[in-house]
Structure 1
Amino acid sequence: MTRQLHLLLFGNTRSAGPWRHPEVDHSTAGVRRELIERARTAERGTFDALFFADGLNYGPPATWPYKTTEDFEPLTTAAALSSVTENVGFVLTGSATLQHPYHLARQFLSLDHLSGGRTGWNLVTSFAAAAADNFSARGVVDHDERYRIAEEAIEVVSALWDGWGEDTIVADRATGVFNDVGKIHVADHHGRYFDVTGPIGAARSPQGRPVIFQAGSSDTGSSFAARHAEVIFTGQGNRERARDFYRSIHAKATDFGRRSAPLITPSLRFVVGSTEEEAARAERLAYEHFSPEYQAGWLLEVDVDVTRADLDGPVPESAFPDSTQTHQTALAGYRAFAREGNPTVREFLYRTVNGFGAQIVGTAEQVADEIEEWFHTGASDGFVLGDSGLPGQLDVFVDQVVPLLRKRGLFRHEYTGSTLREHLGLEVPRRFESPA
């Protein structure tokens, strides 16, 4: 089977400043319309899915003056958007350390059924103190401990998702018996972190199970991802680092005995124009409307502090701690940005709008060339795309870049399946068997 490029789109509306543009409607109704338009445009471009990040908090208080409201909860948002689309998938972030696995399993499987098998779980291990404070947690759990919790959480969720077999439902109208109770798998899990009996009372997913996404990039996190993830979302600032990460994940997946490695889809922010000059103008417009104060506040979540630095001065080395228990890979990525080209604090903050991922500014051909180069040189299997948040950019990508990718034989012309797993070319997983 010919290897195919995968394209996902950040579904979240941006909070780093685009709302300041006079053509952006930041009212509740406007946000709703934008979400629907993004979903339908992604479907028109035959994207695999929309990807919704989430932090389970409104952000550090330093961001509050600058951040828009209507930061809608991802599962609720996807449920609404699934009713106005037919094919595009929805990847939603859920915390294995702050949200209970029974609740996660029930929510994701319910949405998967209601969307016709178009759901994926971006499994995260929450690192933000502001999120822990919303869930009665006594501080943030240490980095490696979070992954031990996640190991148990994914075991519980998988068992709950596979509670019903293909022949569990008998629906005998004459006797009134709906389920063959002897064929219900009860999780009956009693572990170090969770006690969950189950079941959740739902047939198996139309795609077997929701697709597992994961974003671990530290040594512990990448090992977890290589073992469990079907798709890895990552931030890699350039192709060289991305290729190293790609090779490392494939080697680890082999060590875990996997027949195939997870798909790897780094984040990529694009600004595209019909000419280089038009793309540069669009980039300047985005730069003029971004909020450095918001970005400085947001970086506090990963222990990077430039809140008191001169925006037009150099990035102080003191902004970066020697180590962190929050997000180790993010810290390394942002430190690398600060050292590349000696940016001012303002320029550095603008570069972090896409997290610690890659970006490209140029014509449709240049953007397509960059995507193809990453794909063919072992740096990625596709991308989670982010636009500038300003009007028109997503349409330009779908109308100008996607046709080039199709012409080059990299990307689909139409959907050939109906589930997210089919879009991604992934096999239906076997039923869960407890490691015990």
Structure 2
Amino acid sequence: MTREVHLLAFGNTRSAGPWRHPDIDSSTDAVRRRLIDHARTAEAATFDAVFFADGLNFGPPATWPYKTTEDFEPFTTAGALSSVTERVGLVLTGSATLQHPYHLARQLSSLDHLSAGRIGWNLVTSFAQAAADNFSTDGVVEHDERYRIAEEAIDVVKKLWDSWAAGAIVADRESGIFHDVSKIHVPDHHGTYFDVKGPIGAARSPQGQPVIFQAGSSDTGSLFAARHAEVIFTGQGNRGRAQRFYQRIHDEAARQGRPVAPLITPSLWYLVGSTEEEARRVEQTAYEYFSPEYQAGWLLEVDVDVTGADLDGPVPASAFPDHTETHQTALAGYRALATEGNPTVREFLFRTVAGWGAQVVGTPEQIADQIEDWFTSRAADGFVLKDPGLPGQFETFTEQVVPVLRKRGLFRHEYRGTTLRDHLGLDVPPNRNEITA
């Protein structure tokens, strides 16, 4: 099959600052309706999935005055959205270090059944102290150890997903036997971090296993992602860095004996207008409504501190520590943003609204040009799209950018299957208990 761009949309449609826009209703019911409309819009445009990030905390206290409240939990949100959509995938973030693998395996399997095979798990390793404080832990675990925990956690989760071999359900009414227990494999896992008996009370889900997403970009994280991920979510600020990351992941996946490398889907923050002039007006509106106080407070979570700096002065070098045990990739990415073009602190903070990933402002054709350029030059297999939270931006993307991509033969006109694996072109993984030598 001809290679095509994969498009995912951030499901967290709110952004600190734009809630002040007169056309945005921040009531709980409005947020609920907006989530539903957003997912349905993505589905109508044949997007692969809606992607829900999560940090397991309300953020640093310095951000609290500026952010809205309805930060809905992704597992229950995905369950709700699965009942009002039919094809679009739902990717939800779960922590391999703070959420227990038995709960993760059971919840994700249940959601994959309830959604008829549309679930992906974005596996994260939870770097924030504010998250650790919510789970009776001693604090944030050292960076590389978080990945050692994740190695064991994903092994446990997959063992639980594979507990049920084909034919385990016999449902013999005459004998009253529902299960052939010889085909139920109890993991009975005893490891360094987890002891899990199992099994879970569910047969293999429609996809065999939910799709594994991962966002590792540090040296340790990249090795983990190349070993386990089926799709990698990453932040890459320019095409050159993205190409190097893409090649590094492909090389490492090959070294580890994987026949197919993970798909690479960087974040892409966009502002679209029908003309260049309109796009710049949208950018100016986004700039007017963004909250520098919120952004400065949020950066504290990754050990970047510009809270005392002059907003209209240069970004101080002292804002960045030499090393961090929280989010090493974020620190490097934000350091690069602060040095490219010598922005003021205010300009730097506006750039961070997009994280440390790619940004594009322009017409539908110009945005399609950048997507095509990254895609054809092997910098990306697709993108996780993020807009600034202004009314109508996502709808404009689906109505004006998607048709350009389709006209160029880069994006599908309709779904070719029903599951997230179908959309992404991924095979159903074999059950480890049914593999013959």
TM above 0.5, yes or no, is yes
Letter in 1 for 2:133: D
The aligned counterpart of 1:62 is 62
> Which residue of structure 2 lines up, in the alignment, with residue 308 of structure 1?
308
Aligned to 2:193: 193
Distance (whole Å) between structure 1 residues aligned to residue 323 and residue 376 of structure 2: 35
User: Paired residues, what number?
Assistant: 435
1:10: how far off? Answer: 0.3
Deviation of 1:15 after TM superposition, in Å, equals 3.0
Contact 1:159 1:434 in 2 (8 A): no
What secondary structure is seen at the aligned counterpart in 1 of 2:431? coil
User: For each residue in 1:131-152, what CA deviation from the matched residue of structure 2 results, as whole angstroms up to 9, or x when unmatched?
Assistant: 0000001010000000000000
Moved over 4 A (4+): none
CA contact (8 A) 2:166 2:183 kept: no
Residue of structure 2 in register with 1:92 after alignment: 92
- Equivalents in 2 of 1:14, 1:306: separation in Å? 23
Query: Quick check: 1:217 aligned with 2:214?
Result: no
Do the aligned partners of 2:368 and 2:404 also contact (CA within 8 Å) in 1? Answer: yes
Q: Distance in 2 between matches of 1:434 and 1:30?
A: 48
For residues 24-103 of structure 1, what are the structure 2 equivalents within 5 Å? Answer: 24-103=24-103
Alignment of 1:2 onto 2:2? yes
CA distance in 1, matches of 2:266, 2:237: 9
Residue in structure 2 matched with residue 288 of structure 1 by the alignment? 288
Post-superposition CA distance 1:76-114 (Å, at most 9, x none): 001111111100000000000000000000000000000
> Aligned equivalents of 1:114 and 1:344: distance in 2?
49
Deviation at 1:433, TM superposition (A): 5.4
SS in structure 2 of the partner of residue 361 of structure 1: strand
* Structure 1 unaligned blocks of 5 or more: none
Residue 318 of structure 1 pairs with residue 300 of structure 2:
no
Task: Determine if contact 1:119/1:211 at 8 Å carries over to the other structure.
Answer: yes
SS at 2:106 equivalent: helix
One-letter identity of the residue aligned with 2:117: G
Q: Percent identity?
A: 77
1:15 corresponds in structure 2 to: 15
Corresponding residue number in structure 2 for 1:387 = 387
Task: Name the CA shift for 1:221/1:344 in 2 (closer, same or farther; >3 Å).
Answer: same
* One-letter identity of the residue aligned with 1:191: G
Whether 2:155 is the aligned partner of 1:158: answer no
Question: Which AA in structure 2 matches 1:211?
Answer: V
SS at match of 2:324: coil
SS of alignment partner, residue 384 of structure 1? strand
2:275 — aligned with what? 275
C-alpha displacement at 1:55, in angstroms?
A: 0.3
Residue 347 of structure 2 is matched in structure 1 by 347
Are residues 149 and 433 of structure 1, via their aligned partners in 2, closer, same or farther at CA, if it must alter by over 3 Å? farther
Distance 1:73 1:197 in 2: 27
CA contact (8 A) 1:92 1:122 kept: yes
What's the CA shift string for 1:151-201, capped at 9, x where partnerless?
000000001011112200000111211111111011100000000000111
Q: Report SS of the residue matched to 1:332.
A: helix
Give CA-to-partner distance per residue, 1:366-409, whole Å, 9 cap, x none: 00000000000010000000011111111110011000101111
Partner letter of residue 249 of structure 1?
A: I
Residue-by-residue CA offset, 1:233-276 (whole Å, 9 max, x unaligned) = 00000000000000000000000000010000000011001100
Q: How does 1:242-261 map to 2 (within 5 A)?
A: 242-261=242-261
Task: Give the Cα separation in 1 of the matches to 2:22 and 2:434.
Answer: 55
- Structure 2: distance between partners of 1:15 and 1:102: 32
The aligned residue for residue 415 of structure 1 is 415
3-state DSSP class of the match of 1:342?
coil
Give the deviation of 1:14 after TM superposition. 2.3
Distance, in Å, in 1 between the alignment partners of 2:311 and 2:65 is 18
Give the aligned partner of residue 134 of structure 1: 134
Q: Contact 2:15 / 2:388 at 8 angstroms: preserved in 1?
A: no
Alignment check: 8 A CA contact 1:155 1:434 kept: no
> In 1, Cα distance between the equivalents of 2:141 and 2:324?
12
Deviation at 1:305, TM superposition (A): 0.4
Give 2:98's aligned amino acid: L
Q: In the TM superposition, what is the alpha-carbon distance from 1:4 to its structure 2 partner?
A: 1.2
Q: Which amino acid in the other structure matches residue 218 of structure 2?
A: S
1:288 maps to a residue whose letter is E
Equivalent residue, structure 1, for 2:145: 145
CA contact (8 A) 1:16 1:353 kept: no
Distance 2:39 2:128 in 1: 28
SS of residue in 1 equivalent to 2:12: coil
Which amino acid in structure 2 is aligned with residue 385 of structure 1? L
CA offset at residue 319 of structure 1? 0.3
The yes-or-no answer on 1:361 pairing with 2:392 is no
**2:125 equivalent in structure 1:** 125
How far is 1:432 from its partner?
Answer: 2.7
Q: CA deviation at 1:410?
A: 0.6
Please give the alpha-carbon distance, in whole angstroms, between the structure 2 residues aligned to 1:404 and 1:434: 45
- Match status 1:376 vs 2:356: no
2:105 is matched with 105
Which secondary structure state, in structure 2, belongs to the residue aligned with residue 66 of structure 1?
coil
CA offsets 1:331-375 (integer angstroms, 9 cap, x no match): 001000000111111110110111110010000000000000000
Residue 327 of structure 1 corresponds to: 327
Asked if the contact 1:164–1:204 (Cα under 8 Å) also holds between the matched residues in 2, the reply is yes
Alpha-carbon separation, structure 1, partners of 2:271 and 2:23? 18
Deviations 1:39-60 (A, max 9, x none): 0110111000000000000000
| Per-residue deviation, residues 254-303 of structure 1 (Å, max 9, x unmatched) | 00000010000000011001100000001100110111111111111100
C-alpha separation between the residues in 2 aligned to 1:50 and 1:93? Answer: 11
- Helix, strand or coil: the match of 2:75? helix
SS at match of 1:122: strand
